[in-house]
Chains A and B, each alone.
Chain A
Amino acid sequence: MRALLLVLALVLMASPVQAERVVSSVSNTTVLISSSFDGETLTMFGNIEPELGTGQPAKGPYHVVIVVEGPLSDRVTRLKTNNFGIWMNTVQVQFNAMPTYFHVLSDAKLKEITTPVVIAEEKLRPEYQAQAAIETGWWDSVVFANQTVRLLTEKGAFAVREDGVQFLSNTFYSAQLTLPANVPNGAFVARTYVFKDGQIIARKSDGFSVRKSGFERFVGQSANQYPLLYGLVCVALALFTGWLGGVVFKR
């Protein structure tokens, strides 16, 4: 009962400020990976509406930033240095629970949409995600976080696309995102932020998952859950293939 009152109080407190809300969706709630999977394009769309009961029509101009974040994973970034003529990894910095996939889509330049403080607070750039996942000192976090973001951007796992969101009317927007063939498997979240005059006036999260289907799912699960049996099946397959090759070609 008390919790309900608290929620009610919060809603009442919040309602005068947040006069708008965003209704959003993702075209696929699950991206299934089958044997011929070669990436998939998702569409994220939504409409900015006045909060129920306020009655006034939604007025722009609005800006929309969509952050698509993949499953979290621990990561390590290493630096090679030359020691006595041999290049080897000498420094390594660990990142804990960092997104494996992080794309930022917006309809205008982030710095035009809002202030650097808000960008940093909401971690709207990959660099802030990387810095937050790091444990070691300030210098490492700046150098290694930036380098990690650069490497992941080159791989296509991280990106900032400041023309990724299109407004079809004053309030209706859509955005397209192409997941690459090597997209990490797991739970994804698309967070939509609506900005007006540099402030976040509405936000919403939509989840979708990327997972293997059919045979690929079966193989992935077998490898994780029955590793011994899986290994034995691999060996049996190899022995059979080798034997068959010998029989077919009669050496």
Chain B
Amino acid sequence: MTLLNAVIFLPLVAFLIILALPKDKPETIRVFSLVASLAVFLVSLGLIGPVWSSAPGKFAIETNQPWIESPAINYHVALDGISLWLVILATLLTPICVLVSWRSIDKHIKQFFAFLLLLEFGMIGVFCALDFFLFFVFWEVSLVPMYFLIGIWGHERRIYSAVKFFLYTMAGSALMLVGIIYLYNLAGTFDYTKILAGIESGAIALSPVEQLWLFLAFFIAFAIKVPLFPLHTWLPDAHVEAPTAGSVMLASVMLKMGTYGLLRFCVPMFPNAARTCARWIVILAIIGIVYGALVAMVQPNMKKLVAYSSVSHLGFVVLGIFSFTQQGFDGAVYQMLAHGVSTGALFILVGFLYERRHSLEIASYGGVATPAPWLSTAFMITMLASIGLPMLSNFIGEYLVLQGTSLVYFPWTVFAALGVILSACYMLWLYQRVFFGKASEDLTHHMSDLGFREYAIIVPLILLMVWMGTLTQSFLPPISASNAVLLGPIDASREIHAKTAPPHTPALTAHGEFANAR
């Protein structure tokens, strides 16, 4: 029993215990959920040491046990520098979500917290699984609790949104399942590391057509989850209708399952197909960045605004991945984490406002800064982080992505940077409309400042934003090491295109196709 297995299965155990608790004791259930999720978080911190001290870019804390004999399916989990932080992001946000839902969830409390922990189980599993079957199992398992979280505890249009969310993901994962089984029939194994090694060494021969179709099968499943324009339409619905904890989990962790899949599976396994499609994917990512920002600007609903800002920010992540540069990869992962923290915090703060005023419409606010100065300050810092202000978390990610892209094809950087400017527009404008101006009598009456529980929720996130924005080196080294490994297969084929690349920009050589495009 390694530490990692403990982190994976503790939430499942907690889920089962909550199911066994009596439903007429809500306080017990809340306290137990908090204690359990905090325990998972603390245990997960113990994962940092082993990953940090393992060989750079290699998997650590590995467990590889047969699960089903035929077809050979293994329980194969391990962590590298990328999945480590994503797991910790999930374990950090779960206790925070428990706290967020402390009072705002007032019906079916037991089931709510049970589903929250089941969700944590699924999400942690997705980031650790190195067996495709296992990965798929976790991928789908995380879908079910989220469906219930949105559908039972959401706002007015919750049922429509929950079903839409489920069906979108289901359709995507159906294609992925075909891809997984197809790969198995070729390789005779579901093991990611073996398949990857087989593809690199040529032991598993994929024709270009096969590679393209397999790439697309995986890519569509992940792109729906990210979500990449134009597959994003489920996201605003799901985010807006979900309860605060659901929105936080969805935006901060679940969307990363998509980008993580792209980075871990799609690109390294099918490098040639990835390169062939990269041009189109990058264009979609840039459209997503600009479109998400523009649509966010005109939203009258705060949650919808934050949701569209996610479309925009996740566009950066995809852009970074499909630049196929070290900086781009690093930036993408960093942006995944930073977005997880800052957007999670934004949803939480919007949730705080909602609890006070019971409205998500921007128009029903104004002058909140007067009655609730600390709430406004917290919102200010979070918003600035989300915009990408230097010294705060998102800046590092966006900067690295833009730098990586600029090494490949400069005009893209220009378009993508538009997104940064636009994000300042919609965020500052939102802030101005909600927090400045003269507060109405009615609003002042409802608007209390942060309470103790709310400080406990938001302060750690703000500290983390500052930490991630300043002491980058406490996070980046294992990420870079793992990215270098993932980048390998794409780099390996650089010779084919090397002659088209100018000699002074080595990163460009990893990107022959784009050099041609120029």
A, B co-complexed: no
